[in-house]
């Protein structure tokens, strides 16, 4: 696809393969050689930094017990494929200033790739001189290396800084997940080991307590009266995630996310220095006008800075495009909300069907009903349906977001990526998290009470608003989080691993019938998938969505970081395998940070503090239990809490339209039923009004939210203030490199001037009447 003019100007030699070697008589391969003059010219134009002096700064001091990390380390020649140098932007007129030992290897592969976009590689036949691609596959892409560190310098050398910074961020994120996973596992283990101290679950499961409490129907007509002990298993399950340790884990995660972001800034600053990105002007590369903008914008106007005519988009067209874009975004967001409402309607409608099958311990289905309640059955099936809807909508969202962004005709590449990032993240945020927000903050909050229940759409439908299980809604939120998060990760890994293999298998099916010597390496690589410009965008998006799951709702499922850790260990190797074996080598490009994703991570981190505080206050039963323990318990223990948290309603006051169609014989003598709320009993002067304990609990919840948010935010800001973004040793190295650069440039110019003056003195010597002292003074004055 290179023009003949380009080939004639940049290539000193190229060899077209004979026509007989072309398998389809259409595809030909050119072996391009870019001479030193071309590489030097473009390196000068692109201001590529190259070495001028070997670095005299040690990598770091030996740390105690360093031998413990030896099993996780890679060979030194893989981790540091080139020595450390002090670098300076290349100047074609000062080639003798730089350390040029071999012109053929002076520019690394990623730099050559940026200049001439080469896509030819082959493993060296000499086993002692293996190619960089093979080394990446051997030490990085194989799954058996999952416990090894990543060869970031080799990745950067071969693929460029933009891909290198992604894998550096992904690796650092995975490392930090280890600490969150350990704390989450400890929290879960505490819940499992404290079973015997869970008095509330014991009372629910006790036949003399939970077996004698008759609960009001959970839906109209189809749902019967039921015994409280039928929720015995779900109450035990809730205790695994809803216990005292969950509060400390939620606070820990609020601090962990701050440490992760702050330490990443430090790691990023170190990589900027090591990869010569400190003075890199990213705008020079990303603020270039997109070709699509120049083609589609036919209007021209004078640029006041450059005094040249440039394309522009009229304000009327821009406003019209933004209005259409905003309307489209609003439509798809409303579509997501409509799908969530549909799932809620499914939950309300199907719950009655499950309840009519699974009624009580005496009439359960022998296999299923023994382990599952109507609430859990409804929650699991609804979560699975919601996951399928998310995957379907996600497919269309990607197309719509790209179409909307293309329609807006952004001027620059940076503007295009930022707009697409915000649209796609907004879609994904609503798509993946809306169901979790419903379970966490809306379900069971607007139920009413028997005789005065609240209905979906304000009574326009016969679907009664959902109630939480007596053990709380936290177990349902945990179920939703596990199904959506684990399902997304499993489906994503299968999709990433199988689709490239199948597509490459189909593309290269003809060449498999030829032996290796007739089907060359470059022909095999030519049929590989092309890594698109937005390839890294989708990789970042996948990880940021996962980051939201483990931060926004982590208080409901402490094992979420552990699942994310296992997924990321696999994700790194799958991505590495794809880059080395399934994709053509992408054109190298520079990037000094992760771009707009940094601001998104910061926003998610701040929002996570608020969501976890509200989950602990309104979704968890921790606050009601604490209020009962310290304000209402007569013996300063949790005995009697279950009876205290259930209000009483007179069965005779239930409207006939709400009464169950079938009555069981064991409830003929019952006159009252219980429901989850804090209201005065029948016959009281404030019958069915909220008790004072309800307002005490509400005040405690609001106080907890304020205290937790302020404590976590104060610690977050203090930690962010205490940890500098750039390490002190990196600052010192940057200053020393700049000092040495100025010193070496000064000495170089002085020596160069001396040689010029010496040459001029030889060709045109001073007059013989000039004394030696005057000659010395003339030379000194010139210098």
CA 719 to chain centroid: 22
Interval 318-330: pLDDT, tens: 888 888 888 988 8
Residue 305: how many other CB atoms lie within 10 Å: 6
pLDDT higher than threshold 50 for residue 7: no
> pLDDT-derived band of residue 706, with 50, 70 and 90 as boundaries?
very high
When mean pLDDT is compared across 509-513, 567-571, 580-584, 726-730, the lowest value belongs to: 509-513
Q: How far is CA 496 from CA 405, 427, 481, 542, 584, in A?
A: 25, 21, 22, 11, 15
Cβ burial, residue 268 (10 Å; 0-12/13-18/19+) = buried
φ and ψ at 448, to 5 degrees?
Answer: 90, -150
90-100 average pLDDT score: 82
Q: Does 395 fall in a domain?
A: no
Strands 448-449 vs 452-453: parallel, antiparallel or unpaired: antiparallel
Return the structure tokens found at 291: 């070709």
The pLDDT value given to residue 461: 64
Q: How far apart are CA 245 and CA 189, in angstroms?
A: 10
Three-state DSSP class for residue 658: helix
pLDDT higher than threshold 70 for residue 508: no
Q: Does 18 fall in a domain?
A: yes
The pLDDT value given to residue 283: 47
Interval 198-245: pLDDT, tens: 888 888 888 888 888 888 887 777 777 888 887 887 788 788 888 888
Q: How far apart are CA 512 and CA 505, in angstroms?
A: 9
188-203 average pLDDT score: 84
Give me the DSSP letters along 340-373: HHHHHHHHHHHHHHHHHHS--TTS--TTTTTT--
Q: How far is CA 337 from CA 455, 511, 527, in A?
A: 18, 49, 42
Q: Does 136 fall in a domain?
A: yes
> pLDDT-derived band of residue 123, with 50, 70 and 90 as boundaries?
very low
Q: How far apart are CA 397 and CA 652, in angstroms?
A: 52
Residues in contact with 108: Cβ distance below 8 Å, sequence separation at least 6, in sequence order: 82, 157
Please say whether the dihedral angle defined by the alpha carbons of residues 741, 745, 748 and 754, taken in this order, is positive or negative.
negative
Q: Does 591 fall in a domain?
A: no
Give me the DSSP letters along 478-511: HHHHHHHHHHHHHHHHHHHHHHHHHHHHHHTTTG
- Supply the mean pLDDT for the chain: 79
The residue among 586 and 76 whose pLDDT is bigger is: 586
The pLDDT value given to residue 267: 92
Q: Does 59 fall in a domain?
A: yes
Q: Is there a contact between 678 and 628 (Cβ–Cβ < 8 Å)? A: no
The pLDDT value given to residue 11: 43
Residues in contact with 756: Cβ distance below 8 Å, sequence separation at least 6, in sequence order: none
pLDDT higher than threshold 90 for residue 176: yes
By percentage, how much of the chain surpasses pLDDT 70? Answer: 81
pLDDT higher than threshold 50 for residue 647: yes
Of 654, 442, 482, which is closest to residue 564 (Cα–Cα)?
482
Q: How far is CA 645 from CA 200, 207, 449, 639, 678, in A?
A: 11, 18, 14, 12, 6
pLDDT higher than threshold 90 for residue 562: yes
Q: Does 34 fall in a domain?
A: yes
pLDDT higher than threshold 70 for residue 511: no
Helix, strand, coil percentages for the chain (3-state, nearest 5): 60, 5, 30
> pLDDT-derived band of residue 699, with 50, 70 and 90 as boundaries?
very high
Q: How far apart are CA 778 and CA 341, in angstroms?
A: 90
Q: How far apart are CA 192 and CA 2, in angstroms?
A: 66
Locus of tokens 């970031």? 152
Residue 318: how many other CB atoms lie within 10 Å: 13
Q: Does 120 fall in a domain?
A: yes
Q: How many domains does the chain have?
A: 1
pLDDT higher than threshold 60 for residue 9: no
Q: Does 11 fall in a domain?
A: yes
550-577 average pLDDT score: 91
> pLDDT-derived band of residue 366, with 50, 70 and 90 as boundaries?
very low
Task: Report yes or no on whether pTM surpasses 0.85.
Answer: no
Q: How far is CA 522 from CA 21, 119, 315, 405, 736, in A?
A: 13, 8, 48, 35, 44
Q: Is there a contact between 413 and 288 (Cβ–Cβ < 8 Å)? A: yes
Three-state DSSP class for residue 692: helix
Domain span including residue 84: 4-151
pLDDT higher than threshold 70 for residue 138: yes
Q: How far is CA 600 from CA 148, 336, 418, 606, 631, in A?
A: 29, 21, 11, 10, 42
Interval 382-424: pLDDT, tens: 888 888 888 888 888 888 888 888 888 888 777 888 888 888 8
432-440 average pLDDT score: 86
Cβ burial, residue 446 (10 Å; 0-12/13-18/19+) = exposed
């Amino acid at each position: 696809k290179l023009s003949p003019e380009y080939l004639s100007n940049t290539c000193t030699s190229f060899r077209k393969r004979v026509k007989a070697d072309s398998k389809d008589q259409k595809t030909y391969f050119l072996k391009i050689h870019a001479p030193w003059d071309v590489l030097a010219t473009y390196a000068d134009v692109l201001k590529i930094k190259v070495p001028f002096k070997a670095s005299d700064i040690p990598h770091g001091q030996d740390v105690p017990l360093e031998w413990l990390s030896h099993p996780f380390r890679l060979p030194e020649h893989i981790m540091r494929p080139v020595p450390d140098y002090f670098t300076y932007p290349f100047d074609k007129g000062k080639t003798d200033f730089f350390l040029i030992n071999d012109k053929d290897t002076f520019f690394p592969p990623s730099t050559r790739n940026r200049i001439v976009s080469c896509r030819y590689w082959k493993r060296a036949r000499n086993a002692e001189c293996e190619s960089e691609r093979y080394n990446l596959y051997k030490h990085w892409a194989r799954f058996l290396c999952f416990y090894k560190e990543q060869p970031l310098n080799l990745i950067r050398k071969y693929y460029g800084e933009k891909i290198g910074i992604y894998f550096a961020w992904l690796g650092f994120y995975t490392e930090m997940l280890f600490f969150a996973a350990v704390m989450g596992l400890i929290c879960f283990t505490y819940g499992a080991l404290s079973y015997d101290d869970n008095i509330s679950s014991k009372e629910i499961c006790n036949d003399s307590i939970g077996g004698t409490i008759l609960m009001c129907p959970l839906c109209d007509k189809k749902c019967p009266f039921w015994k409280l002990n039928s929720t015995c298993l779900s109450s035990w399950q809730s205790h695994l995630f809803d216990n005292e340790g969950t509060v400390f884990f939620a606070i820990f995660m609020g601090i962990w996310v701050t440490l992760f972001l702050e330490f990443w800034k430090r790691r990023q600053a170190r990589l900027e220095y090591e990869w010569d990105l400190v003075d890199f002007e990213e705008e020079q590369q990303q603020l270039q006008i997109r070709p699509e903008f120049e083609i589609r914008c036919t209007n021209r106007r004078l640029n006041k800075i450059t005094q040249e005519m440039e394309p522009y988009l009229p304000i009327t067209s821009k406003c019209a495009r933004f209005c259409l874009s905003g309307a489209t975004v609003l439509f798809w967001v409303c579509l997501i909300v409509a799908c969530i409402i549909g799932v809620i309607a499914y939950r309300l409608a199907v719950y009655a069907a499950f309840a009519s099958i699974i009624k009580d311990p005496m009439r359960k289905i022998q296999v299923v009903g023994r382990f599952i309640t109507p609430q859990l059955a409804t929650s699991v099936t609804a979560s699975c349906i919601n996951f399928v809807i998310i995957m379907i909508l996600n497919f269309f969202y990607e197309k719509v977001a790209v179409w909307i962004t293309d329609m807006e005709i952004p001027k620059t590449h940076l503007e295009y990526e930022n707009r697409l990032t915000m649209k796609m993240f907004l879609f994904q945020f609503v798509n993946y998290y809306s169901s979790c927000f419903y379970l966490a903050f809306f379900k069971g909050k607007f139920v009413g009470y028997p005789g005065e229940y609240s209905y979906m759409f304000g009574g326009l439908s016969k679907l009664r608003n959902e109630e939480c299980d007596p053990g709380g809604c936290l177990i349902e939120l945990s179920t939703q989080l596990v199904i959506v998060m684990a399902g997304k990760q499993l489906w994503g890994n299968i999709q990433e691993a199988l689709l490239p293999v199948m597509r490459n298998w189909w593309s290269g099916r003809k060449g498999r019938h030829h032996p290796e010597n007739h089907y060359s390496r470059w022909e095999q690589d030519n049929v590989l998938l092309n890594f698109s410009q937005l390839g890294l965008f989708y990789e970042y998006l996948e990880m940021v969505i996962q980051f939201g799951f483990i931060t926004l709702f982590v208080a409901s499922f402490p094992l979420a970081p552990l699942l994310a850790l296992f997924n990321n260990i696999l994700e790194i190797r799958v991505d590495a395998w794809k880059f080395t074996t399934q994709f053509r080598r992408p054109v190298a490009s520079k990037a000094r940070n992760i771009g707009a994703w940094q601001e998104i991570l910061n926003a998610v981190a701040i929002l996570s503090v608020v969501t976890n505080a509200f989950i602990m206050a309104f979704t968890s039963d921790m606050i009601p239990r604490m209020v009962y323990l310290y304000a209402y318990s007569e013996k300063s223990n949790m005995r009697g809490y279950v009876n205290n948290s259930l209000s009483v309603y007179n069965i005779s006051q239930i409207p006939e339209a709400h009464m169950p169609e079938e009555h069981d014989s064991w409830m003929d003598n019952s006159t009252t039923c219980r429901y989850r709320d804090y209201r005065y009993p029948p016959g009281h002067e404030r019958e069915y009004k909220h008790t004072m304990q309800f307002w005490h609990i509400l005040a405690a919840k609001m106080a907890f939210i304020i205290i937790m948010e302020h404590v976590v935010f104060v610690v977050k800001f203090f930690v962010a203030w205490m940890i500098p973004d750039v390490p002190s040793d990196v600052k010192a190295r940057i200053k020393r490199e700049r000092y040495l650069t100025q010193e070496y440039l000064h000495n170089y110019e002085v020596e160069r001037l001396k040689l010029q003056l010496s040459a001029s003195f030889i060709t045109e010597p001073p007059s013989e009447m000039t004394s030696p002292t005057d000659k010395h003074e003339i030379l000194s004055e010139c210098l």
